[in-house]
Amino acid sequence: MKIISVVGARPNFMKVAPLDTAFKRWSNFRSQSSLNHLICHTGQHYDDKMSKIFFEELGLPKPDYDLGVGSGSHAEQTAKVMLKFEKVLIKERPDLIIVVGDVNSTIACGLTAVKMGIKVAHVEAGLRSFDREMPEEINRVLTDSISDFLFVTEKSGVENLKKEGVDTSKIFLVGNVMIDSLISYLPRIGESKIHSQLNVEKGNYCLITLHRPSNVDNRGKLEELVQFIAELSKDKKVVFPVHPRTKNNLARFNLLDSLNHNITITDPLGYIDFISLIKDSSFVLTDSGGVQEETTYLGIPCITLRNNTERPITVELGTNYIVGENFEYARRCIGEILDGKGKKGNIPELWDGKSAERIVRILMERMA
């Protein structure tokens, strides 16, 4: 059996790493197994700090294919991936491809495969923000509609798929493979030296990440966020690893000079250092989907600068606050957190480090 897993952007690497490990364990345990697991990197994220470092830190083998598509508009990027991935499929003729998350590479490779009669498994299926202005939401809905196996991280995903009329035989609640990575690397995360390198005191800083176009592409919106961060930094040390898109816009809109008070700005960080900063922060301010899950597992309060979330379990059960553009509400949430009255949260069902094993077992049993 031949399976190709697709990675394209930074969040994908943490999801495919535990799958690759689980496939290897399956093959080693069953010495007669002829399973061949390949990895195809589309190159949607191509900067070393957004890509190469994750292969090195997570122990992923060098990708069997690197399509090198680079940046571009949504249409350009999706089209480039489809054209190049089709050649991989013609050459390899896999039995199945695995796509993860909601980036352009996910829908592009899924669509290319299904049109060639190749089965598709979607890891992190069923998540819905119900906001069609988010490109990721379109990618999620379309990928789920064409996939043969839908592996879901939380119960809301199962309910969403059922409401959309998906055959329940395709739906599997398996937990969160990204949490598999987090649990696996906790010992190394604890050994990170990033705090001393940045000269920040554990437990006494706020970590910020911003990358969504809705937040950083509009000058007025980004200016408001910068003002809020600058205000926050008067009372709390701020650590801000800046995404390339955000950095470019901060420079383009002449806003970098506003981030000079008690704020430590860094380039994007590797997985180990970044999770270490989350784990030892007072709270996190973000617009990332994955960070909402990581903070929930680690019990760190998370202020999400979006009007919605496709991961409602992080709000209902976890440590996440959805504040949107309501900075007054954000201030109240931060005040509660700093007073020790913030959400403590609980770890969702099946977020136990064994999600990849469940996925591989299901695939091997169903595909045999």
Q: Are 172 and 362 in contact (CB under 8 A)?
A: yes
Nearest one of 353, 10, 360, 8 to 182, comparing CA atoms: 353
Centroid of chain to Cα 168: 25
Q: Are 129 and 105 in contact (CB under 8 A)?
A: no
Q: How far apart are CA 269 and CA 86, in angstroms?
A: 32
Tokens of 264: 């430590």
Centroid of chain to Cα 309: 13
Q: DSSP letter at 282? A: S
In which residue are the tokens 């969702």 written?
348
Active-site residue 211, yes or no?
A: yes
Q: Are 204 and 283 in contact (CB under 8 A)?
A: no
Which of 41, 74, 211, 261 is flagged as catalytic?
211
Centroid of chain to Cα 248: 21
Beta bridge partners of 97: 4, 120
Q: Are 153 and 336 in contact (CB under 8 A)?
A: no
Strands 171-173 and 263-266: unpaired
Residue 3 is inside which H or E element, if any? strand 2-7
**104-115 and 74-92 helices, crossing angle to 10°:** 40
Catalytic residues: 211
